Amino acid sequence: MLLESEGEAVCTHCAKHEEEDTKTSMNEKYALAGLSSVTWVVAILVELLWQNQLIVYSLSIAAILVAGRWIIPRGLRGAAKIHLDINFLMTFAAFAALIIGAPLEGAAAMYLFFIANLLEDRASAQVRNDIQGLLELAPQMITLKTSSGLVEVPVESGQMGEVFVVKPGDRIGLDGIVVSGTTSVNQSPITGESVPVSKQVGDTVYAGTINMDGSVEIEVTHLSSETVLSRIVSLVDEARSKRSPTEKLVSRISHRYTPMVVLASAAMVVVTFAFGFTLQDAVYRGLTLLVTSCPCAFVISIPVSMVSSIAGSARSGVLVKGSEYIEALSKSSVVAFDKTGTLTEGVLQVENITQANGATREEVLHIAGSLEQYSEHPISRAVTQLAEIERVTLGTVDSFQAIAGRGVTGEIGGDKVVAGNRGLMQEKGIDIPDNDTQKAGTNVYVAKNGNHVGTIRLMDSVRHTARRAIQDLSAMGIRSVMLTGDNEATAVHVAKILQVDEYHADLLPHEKVEAVESITDEGTHLFVGDGINDAPAMAASDVSVAMGVIGSDLALETADVALMEDDLEKIPILIQQAQKTMSIVKQNIAVSIGIKAAVAILAIAGLATLWLAVGVGDMGVSLLVIANALRLAMRR
Q: Which residues belong to the active site?
A: 338
Q: With contact defined as beta carbons under 8 Å apart, do 467 and 499 qualify? A: yes
H or E element in which residue 467 lies = helix 466-475
**Residue 509, exposed/middle/buried by CB under 10 A (0-12, 13-18, 19+)?**
middle
Give how far Cα 312 sits from Cα of 207, 452, 635, Å.
Answer: 20, 56, 5
- Residues 343 and 482: their CA atoms lie apart, in Å, by 8
SS3 365: helix
Instruction: Check residue 394 and report its DSSP letter.
Output: P
H or E element in which residue 444 lies = strand 442-448
Q: Where are the beta strands (DSSP E) in 169-312?
A: 176-180, 183-186, 197-199, 204-205, 210-211, 216-220
234-238: which pairs have CB atoms within 8 A and are 24 or more residues apart? 235/319, 235/321, 235/556, 235/557, 236/131, 236/134, 236/310, 236/311, 236/314, 236/319, 237/131, 238/321
Q: Parallel, antiparallel, or unpaired: how do β-strands 332-338 and 479-483 relate?
A: parallel
Q: In degrees rounded to 5, what are phi and psi of residue 395?
A: -100, 170
Bridge partners, residue 218, by sequence: 164, 178
Give how far Cα 301 sits from Cα of 2, 96, 295, Å.
Answer: 15, 29, 10
H or E element in which residue 543 lies = strand 543-547
- Residues 460 and 265: their CA atoms lie apart, in Å, by 70
- Residues 243 and 174: their CA atoms lie apart, in Å, by 32
Q: What angle do CA 308, 309, 311 make, to 5 degrees?
A: 65
- Residues 275 and 530: their CA atoms lie apart, in Å, by 70
Query: Minimal CA–CA distance to 518: which of 499, 486, 540?
Result: 540
- Residues 180 and 200: their CA atoms lie apart, in Å, by 8
- Residues 314 and 307: their CA atoms lie apart, in Å, by 11
SS3 150: strand
Cα end-to-end span (Å), the chain: 31
- Residues 252 and 295: their CA atoms lie apart, in Å, by 12
- Residues 210 and 225: their CA atoms lie apart, in Å, by 19
Q: Where are the beta strands (DSSP E) in 325-377?
A: 332-338, 349-355
Q: With contact defined as beta carbons under 8 Å apart, do 447 and 417 qualify? A: yes
Q: Parallel, antiparallel, or unpaired: how do β-strands 451-459 and 561-563 relate?
A: unpaired
